[in-house]
Amino acid sequence: MTGEPAAAEVLACCTAIYSHPLARILLGDFLHPGGAALSRCLLELLGVRAGSRVLDVAAGTGATALLAARQHGCHVIAIEQSAELVAAAQAAVEAAGLAGQVEVLRGDAEALPVGSASADAVLCECALCTFARPEVAVAELVRVLRPGGLAGITDVTRRGELPASLSGAVARAACLAGALPPEGYRALLEAGGLAVVGEEDHRAAAAALAVSVHDKLAAAELLERLGHLRLPDGTVGRAREVLRDVRAAIADGRLGYGLWVAEKPAGPGAGRQAASTASIAGRSAGVRL
């Protein structure tokens, strides 16, 4: 048996979940822990500026791509697998009047539809752990980066065993099935030929998102009881039980959230990038995962 059916199942599951309107209600437009604040932090660490060519892989609704274009004046290509999210991102770009700066493409992270060495920076937020072949996705990030360019990753981290409630489809929905320990992400990036130059622990962002989702589910449960919301029987109750176990796993360190910045090896004359790398390393000192 090959891994292709499983890979297709994971992709279909994640696409359906994050394309559903409820995902944006529960998670917000950025669809990841830390929201706009953490995306802003990642863009700063990547040294994005006016004129930079940025690739946003698994871009979701395009929220980070728009943030980068507005605040840094860069050109962004947002790549997303879900047709529904591509349409939502394209509509957001047009509504923001940034069609000249942000391009939205439908594409697979394992076969990015852009040229080699065409990006100054690439980012992938809360998605690497959902890819069926993350090592192939990392190889693609390396391919599209110019020498001396930076890749920025944020993702769910996982240590040890999780309760049965956080397995199967639930694990895929919550980005837990393919989550690695922090050293696993470092190893994955380094095996792809990147040098990790900065990393940060953002478990607090995951905890805050879990609290926010819990509160929204409590509100949904009340609306359901009052007859103002109709969902399949037991949906909210089961979701709250799962979230209870997620919060417990975050509290005891089995689940977390991390950020990594890695550099593609550069040739001679990469002084500006070296300075940027030193800045990242200084910022991340003392917050290794």
Per-residue pLDDT of 151-170, as tens digits, reads: 999 999 999 888 887 876 66
Beta-carbon count within 10 A of 171 CB: 18
For the cut 70, the answer to whether the pLDDT of residue 83 exceeds it is yes
What does the domain layout of the chain look like in residue ranges? Answer: 4-203+253-284
Whether residue 15 has pLDDT greater than 50: no
pLDDT over threshold 60, residue 108: yes
pLDDT of residue 26: 52
Torsion angle of the four alpha carbons 139, 145, 150, 155, in this order, in degrees rounded to the nearest 10 = -40
Confidence at 258, pLDDT banded by 50, 70, 90? very high
Q: Rounded mean pLDDT of 255-283?
A: 64
Q: Which residue has the higher pLDDT, 152 or 27?
A: 152
pLDDT band at 40 (very low <50, low <70, confident <90, very high): very high
Query: Is the pLDDT score of 6 beyond 80?
Result: no
Mean pLDDT on 82-101: 94
- The one-letter code for the residue type at 52 is S
* CA distance linking residue 84 with residue 106, whole number of Å: 10
- Any idea what the Cα angle at residue 128 is, between residues 122 and 130, rounded to 5°? 145
Report, as an integer, the average pLDDT of 19-27: 49
pLDDT at site 269: 43
Q: Does 9 have pLDDT greater than 60?
A: no
Name, in order, each residue with C-beta under 8 angstroms of 266's C-beta and a sequence gap of 6 or more: 147, 148, 273
Quote the mean pLDDT of the chain: 80
Q: Which residue has the higher pLDDT, 172 or 72?
A: 72
pLDDT grade, residue 187 (50/70/90)? very high
Residue 8's pLDDT band, with cuts at 50, 70 and 90, is very low
Contact predicate 92/119, CB 8 Å: no
pLDDT at residue 237 in the model: 64
**For 33, which DSSP code?**
T
- Average pLDDT rounded to a whole number, residues 44-50: 96
Sheet hosting strand 145-158, strand order edge to edge: 102-106, 75-80, 53-57, 119-125, 145-158, 255-263, 195-201
Residue type, 237: G
CATH of domain 4-203+253-284: 3.40.50.150
- Higher confidence at residue 269 or residue 45? 45
Q: What is the pTM of this model?
A: 0.80
Question: Which band of pLDDT confidence, cut at 50, 70 and 90, is reported for residue 177?
Answer: confident
